[in-house]
Amino acid sequence: MTRFSVPDMTCGHCKAAIEKAVSAISPAAVIKVDLENHIVEIESTTDDATLVAAMKDEGYEATPTS
């Protein structure tokens, strides 16, 4: 599972947009969203760069964190 910092994610609409974008490229992905801390955790076989690009395409800058 990879954690991503997504600073501009603030509401349910943001959460839904990110989940939709990730699910479109990785249908079996497990996605956990922590709106309060602006963190998205994704368990997927898709590489991090592709996941970051999908979120960016939706308008959300995402950075992998440890």
pLDDT digits (tens, 9 = 90+) for 7-43: 999 999 999 999 999 999 999 999 999 999 999 999 9
Domain boundaries, the chain: 2-65
Q: Are 30 and 5 in contact (CB under 8 A)?
A: no
- Does residue 66 carry a pLDDT above 80? no
* CA of residue 14 relative to chain centroid, distance: 10
Other beta carbons within 10 angstroms of residue 21's beta carbon come to 20
Instruction: Note the pLDDT of residue 10.
Output: 93
Give the chain's length: 66
Three-state DSSP at 12 gives: helix
CATH class of 2-65: alpha beta
Averaged pLDDT for residues 35-62: 97
Query: What pTM was computed for the model?
Result: 0.93
By three-state DSSP, how is residue 45 classified? Answer: coil
Contact 43, 51 (CB under 8 A): no
pLDDT for the residue numbered 27? 97
